[in-house]
Amino acid sequence: MCRGKYVFIVLVLLLGSATYAQDQKALIAAGDKYYGKKDYKNALASFLAAQEINPDDASLNFKIGLSYLYSETKSKAASYIDKAYRLNPAVNPDIDYHLGIAFQNTNDFQKAIEHFERFKKKKANLSSIVDEKIAECHIADSLSQNELNVIIQNLGPVVNTPFSDYSPIISADGNTLIFTSNRTDDPARAKAGQNFEDIYVTYKQGSDWSAPKLISPNVNIKYNDAAASLSPDGKTLFLYLEEGEGDIYTSTRTGDEWSKPEPLNKNINTGMFWETCASVTADGKKLYFASNRPGGIGELDLYVSELDGRGQWGKAVNLGPIINTPENEDSPFIHHDGVTLYFSSDGHPRLGNSDIFMAEFVNGKWKKPENMGYPLNSWEYDGFFTLSPDKKQGYFSTAKEGGLGDADIYSIKFLDPKYKPKPKPAVVAAAEKAAAEEKAAKTEIPKSEEFIDPSIAAKKAQKVVTLLKGKVIDESNASPLGAVISLVDNTTNKVITKINTNPLTGEFELVIPHGGNYGVATEKSGYLFNSINFALPEFAEYQEIDTHIIMVKAEVGSKVVLKNIFFDIGKSDLKTESVAEVENIRELMITNPNLKVQINGHTDNSGNAASNKALSLKRASSVVTYLASHGIDASRVSAKGYGSERPIVSNDDEQGGREINRRTEIEIIK
């Protein structure tokens, strides 16, 4: 009797287990179906219900983690993927990569790096992707340890919705907010993805915002339209309309009414390409905008156009490789000071998907962009930044976890820095100074390797020389550099002088004999070499030239003009006098095996534009061909011809313009 009762109990337990197993299997199958449709909310509901039946299923925990990783609550992903990893490290061949992403999203950067490194060992062919993620972690770790002293607030449910709300524009008095949203009250339209973007406006009421309203039936079209910029007087709205591929328009306000938008001219808008965001300076004379037009550096690039005397926007000028990268630069905002540019980028060193950067225009050129820092920037997309004239109050858009929708608008208030750097103890400061001097004192080549050809002494005695003297300095901060300067006879390609600059002051003196074509090459580890050309008559008068040789750091986007590359008029064959310069490039590539460069050819505007462009490409290709035929991997060098598209100066005269614009450059692209 007891035996029969025992068998009955065992049967009940087995049947119960089988039922639970069937229930779990059905729930996982339902979750997989939702996951395949990218419906992560319902996928999570099914997977979590299945996990209640068996919480120690490694595969199920991994699926829950991935679902969270693609949902709005990404911070929950790490605990589930980590549990799956502890239960069974082989549950998925890519689990280390996913776990790296999950830890990155919870700001546990050291753990993220550990798992990325493990994944890289397994999948060496994906090392470039993983290295980018590791770099993001290092940057984020550094920035998060120097957290900004700011107050960031979501503008709340009056302004933000479960949809995308972004591109905030604030009036000069701070009381009017114009923004873009794809909100809709029609569930069917939302499900079908037909909830198009429109422009809304809201007004400050005390410390709150009024209920947003569509800005105007004249402005909001059937398809997508988006706010871009507002003129200082608040009467001209720059906006994006989905006409053609997408262009920039303006609408003007008279009283409370906005006019029907009018497109900007063809210098701004292109028929076949995309112009997205725009920002106008406080004086209304410069327009910064984003475009993916041909001839750029990356996908979306930033450009500037100036208003001419007739009130028309002039030719758009690319902001160049300091600002633009091979990836995307977008949502520019030029501050009221006219020299500080804010923009989003997924190409500059960043914390995550896309960060907000700041760059200043100083002494006629852009300084290197700076990441705005944490917590303004996060692992998600951050962009559409705008800032008050006193730089204390800003607004931006982001998809931060805990928001109300796909993207929300936030305010940010900048407070005084939390910490002021303490002065270093005198002993520490002295030690650091001594270390710096010791480092500076190291010459690039031993003294024994310095030399001056004996023939130069005779010419110096006859006073048929040019004395070139000055300093070698860093382009970015003007600090003196210890470097090696070589004087090359371009006719024979023979090095006739090689000297070190003063390692502490960067000073040098170089004697250049008259009666020849000479190249002066300056080299410094970590920098592109500097190139100068001197073509001096035999009996020219003795002269002294004071100069600064400016060195550009070897970074992506850096480029220098190769002054000792020569071609006959209208031809693309390298002249013999060019060999020494091309050999300098070859040496640079050998010394830096990870370097990838582009040779850029440029002409002046004389003659046919199409022919000039073809000639410039052929000339650049001649340099590439030489390098490839002398041991440099062809995949590391490429050529691009710009013709007369990118002049440095005006082409109005020969010596001061066209001669300068006819040039060959080396540019680092990787």
Digit-coded pLDDT (tens) for 593-639: 888 889 888 887 777 878 888 888 888 888 888 888 888 888 888 98
H or E stretch at 51:
helix 40-53
pLDDT of 419: 47
**Rounded mean pLDDT of 416-442?**
49
Residue 74: φ, ψ to 5°: -65, -25
**Rounded mean pLDDT of 566-588?**
82
H or E stretch at 303:
strand 301-306
CA nearest neighbour of 642 among 325, 270, 320, 364: 320
> What are 514's two structure tokens?
């008259």
pLDDT of 3: 52
H or E stretch at 434:
helix 426-441
* CA–CA dist 498, 510 (Å, integer): 9
pLDDT of 314: 94
Secondary structure class of 534 (helix, strand, coil):
strand
pLDDT of 18: 52
Give the pLDDT confidence of 100-136 residue by residue, as tens digits. 888 888 888 888 889 988 888 888 777 778 887 887 8
* CA–CA dist 357, 552 (Å, integer): 22
Give the pLDDT confidence of 551-568 residue by residue, as tens digits. 888 888 888 888 888 887
* CA–CA dist 495, 285 (Å, integer): 51
Residue 620: φ, ψ to 5°: -65, -40
pLDDT at 176 over 80: yes
Taking the CA atoms of 151, 156, 162 and 163 in sequence, report the sign of the dihedral they define.
negative
* CA–CA dist 353, 345 (Å, integer): 9
Q: Which CATH architecture has domain 150-183+194-414?
A: 6 Propeller (2.120)
**Rounded mean pLDDT of 297-306?**
93
What confidence category does residue 656 fall into, taking pLDDT thresholds of 50, 70 and 90?
Answer: very low
H or E stretch at 414:
strand 408-414
pLDDT of 21: 61
* CA–CA dist 143, 373 (Å, integer): 6
Residue with tokens 């002269």: 543
Taking the CA atoms of 55, 61, 67 and 72 in sequence, report the sign of the dihedral they define.
positive
CA nearest neighbour of 57 among 94, 30, 22, 24: 24
Q: Which residues contact 452 (CB under 8 A, 6 or more apart)?
A: 496, 497, 499, 511
Q: Which residues contact 41 (CB under 8 A, 6 or more apart)?
A: 71
pLDDT of 399: 85
Cis peptide before 647 (omega within 30 of 0): no
* CA–CA dist 621, 301 (Å, integer): 25
pLDDT of 2: 52
pLDDT at 180 over 90: yes
**Rounded mean pLDDT of 455-459?**
80
**Rounded mean pLDDT of 336-351?**
90
Q: Where does residue 150 rank: exposed (0-12), middle (13-18), buried (19+ CB within 10 A)? A: middle
pLDDT at 315 over 90: yes
The one-letter code for the residue type at 95 is: I
Of the chain, the end-to-end C-alpha distance in Å amounts to 82
Q: What angle do CA 223, 284, 287 make, to 5 degrees?
A: 55
Q: Which residues contact 281 (CB under 8 A, 6 or more apart)?
A: 287, 288, 334, 338
Taking the CA atoms of 170, 358, 419 and 112 in sequence, report the sign of the dihedral they define.
positive
Residue 285: how many CB atoms within 10 A of its CB? 13
pLDDT at 500 over 60: yes
Given the candidates 3.40.190.10, 1.25.40.10, 1.20.1070.10, 1.10.8.50, the CATH classification of the domain at 17-144 is 1.25.40.10
Residue with tokens 């852009």: 366
Q: Which CATH architecture has domain 554-670?
A: 2-Layer Sandwich (3.30)
What confidence category does residue 317 fall into, taking pLDDT thresholds of 50, 70 and 90?
Answer: very high
- Residue with the larger pLDDT of the pair 591 and 652: 591
CA nearest neighbour of 301 among 265, 263, 331: 331
The CATH superfamily assigned to 443-551 is Immunoglobulins (2.60.40.10)
Residue 320: how many CB atoms within 10 A of its CB? 15
Residue 228: φ, ψ to 5°: -125, -55
What confidence category does residue 393 fall into, taking pLDDT thresholds of 50, 70 and 90?
Answer: very high
- Every domain range in the chain assigned CATH 2.60.40.10: 443-551
Q: Which residues contact 85 (CB under 8 A, 6 or more apart)?
A: 91, 95, 99
DSSP 25: H
pTM above 0.75, yes or no: no
Interhelix angle for 2-36 vs 58-69, to 10°?
A: 30
CA nearest neighbour of 356 among 370, 367, 339: 370
**Rounded mean pLDDT of 363-386?**
90
What percent of the chain is predicted at pLDDT more than 70?
89
CA nearest neighbour of 641 among 670, 662, 656, 659: 662
Report the chain's mean pLDDT, rounded to a whole number.
Answer: 83
Q: Where does residue 166 rank: exposed (0-12), middle (13-18), buried (19+ CB within 10 A)? A: buried
- Residue with the larger pLDDT of the pair 572 and 256: 256
pLDDT at 8 over 70: no
What confidence category does residue 512 fall into, taking pLDDT thresholds of 50, 70 and 90?
Answer: confident
- Every domain range in the chain assigned CATH 3.30.1330.60: 554-670
pLDDT at 395 over 90: yes
Q: Where are the beta strands (DSSP E) in 483-620?
A: 484-489, 494-500, 507-513, 516-523, 530-536, 543-551, 559-561, 597-602
**Rounded mean pLDDT of 439-450?**
59
What percent of the chain is predicted at pLDDT more than 90?
30
pLDDT of 645: 77
**Rounded mean pLDDT of 577-604?**
84
DSSP 655: I
CA nearest neighbour of 77 among 119, 111, 36, 33: 111
Residue with tokens 């000028």: 317
pLDDT of 265: 94
pLDDT at 438 over 50: no
Q: Which residues contact 627 (CB under 8 A, 6 or more apart)?
A: 582, 585, 586, 589, 637
pLDDT at 41 over 70: yes
* CA–CA dist 660, 652 (Å, integer): 11
* CA–CA dist 269, 169 (Å, integer): 22
**Rounded mean pLDDT of 453-480?**
82
Residue 289: strand pairing partners: 278, 303
Q: Rounded to an integer, what is the distance from CA 349 to the centroid of its chain?
A: 7
- Every domain range in the chain assigned CATH 1.25.40.10: 17-144
